[in-house]
Amino acid sequence: MIEYRFGDESDEESPEYDFASGGPIDSDLMWMRRAVNQARLAAEADEVPVGALIVRGGQVLGQAHNGREQLKDPTAHAEMIAITQAASAIEDWRLEGCTLYVTLEPCAMCAGAILLARIPRVVFGASDPKGGAVHSLYQLLTDPRQNHRCEVVPGVLGPQCGQLLTQFFAAKRAMGKK
């Protein structure tokens, strides 16, 4: 069974974000490294290596990695699990003032959940040309027709995040697995 955990007292504090700045800031790199660590845990569990965490005011409210295989749940994407954890942590479905860090560009399902949770800022690593719904195939989080839109910061630790996925799928192909 996958064990997901919330941040603990040892989590470093980060400065407040300047949402108008539009680009990665030092704390984005720090939090994205934590998301990469979650992705590594996914790979160790033979899951697609995607990791996510949700941060508000320097505190991790939720962190997770993909769990579709272990949970036998097609919705168990890292983002979905982290969103559920964060909402539970603050006892509110509105995740205002939060930033979602995720190692792979969110899919349509996760982008929809991000919008519904009112997460104002999303930072992702690798683009997903086949399934990305934030930047690559669709721009759901910035579509002006939506009631809610997000600031999107793409490509933070993108090469490192992409390399984890490339290595994972190369190993799967070498073993003859899906």
- Catalytic residue numbers read 79
**CB atoms < 10 A from the CB of 114, how many?**
29
Is 122 in a helix, a strand, or coil? strand
Contact 101, 28 (CB under 8 A): yes
Nearest to 153 by CA among 11, 64, 25: 25
Q: Is the dihedral of CA 52, 39, 26, 153 positive or negative?
A: negative
Outline where the chain has alpha helix (H). Answer: 26-44, 68-71, 78-90, 108-116, 158-174
